[in-house]
Amino acid sequence: MSEREGTVVIVGATSSIARELSRRMVWRGKRTLLAARDAAELSRCSADLRIRSGRDVEELEWPEEPGGSVELARRIISRLRPGPIFLAMCVGYLGDQALADVDPAERARIRQANLEIPVEVIEELLPAMTKQGGSILALSSVAGDRVRPSNALYGAAKAGLNAYLEALRLRTRRSSLRIVTAKLGPVATRMTFGMGRLPLMISPSRAAELIDKRLDRAEVIYVPSVWAPIMAAIRLIPEPIFRRMTF
């Protein structure tokens, strides 16, 4: 990919998929900003990317306190370069549905990581991005297409994220900004560790490769693409029948 002006921003940069994406997206801008809450791991990620690319890579620590996501967005804005902004929202948390059934804190973690934080960051950056152009990539899940009882809150939050991104495409339709939803199937990451080999599971590097190939071509990406017809069929199942199925 040819070198471009502007800034690449990876939020949730220490996740396995984000690391792979950053290596591919670093060429989209003059500067890359990596943001995450684990400062030590973030430092390792930025050093690795800097060595691999030889480019301007900065790290932004994500404040833990309430309102930290808004503060992070404001820190990002203060470091943007002129030109397009390429934002990748790589935050997510599968959580424990059984625990969430009885623990408000777990419910909050699932809701915040999968819906509230992406919305907060994107909304803060939206004025600058609408003005300067670029792309927003948000990592979502096929779980949001039809929510199952075993991960009900996670799926519902991802469904909310998908709806928000669809609405955002409508809001920004008169601008040059592109909004891309990547709906991932199972990926072999820390989030799925201990679940065994799930159907159609792929590696983080393969997921990043598939996203990168279609990032400039489609607004909704299924990763891998075989999930598109699968989820289309599942969405057609009438709710009374869906309720009787075992998940």
60: three-class secondary structure by DSSP: strand
CA dihedral 74, 80, 85, 87 (to 10 degrees): -40
| Distance in angstroms (rounded) separating the CA atoms of residues 199 and 172 | 36
| Distance in angstroms (rounded) separating the CA atoms of residues 117 and 113 | 6
The catalytically annotated residue of 93, 154, 164, 222 is: 154
Instruction: Examine the residue annotation and report whether 154 is marked as an active-site residue of this protein.
Output: yes
| Distance in angstroms (rounded) separating the CA atoms of residues 238 and 246 | 15
How many whole angstroms from its chain centre is CA 192?
A: 16
**CA 38-44-50 angle, 5° bins:** 130
| Distance in angstroms (rounded) separating the CA atoms of residues 239 and 243 | 6
For residue 46, list its beta bridge partners: none
Active site residues: 154
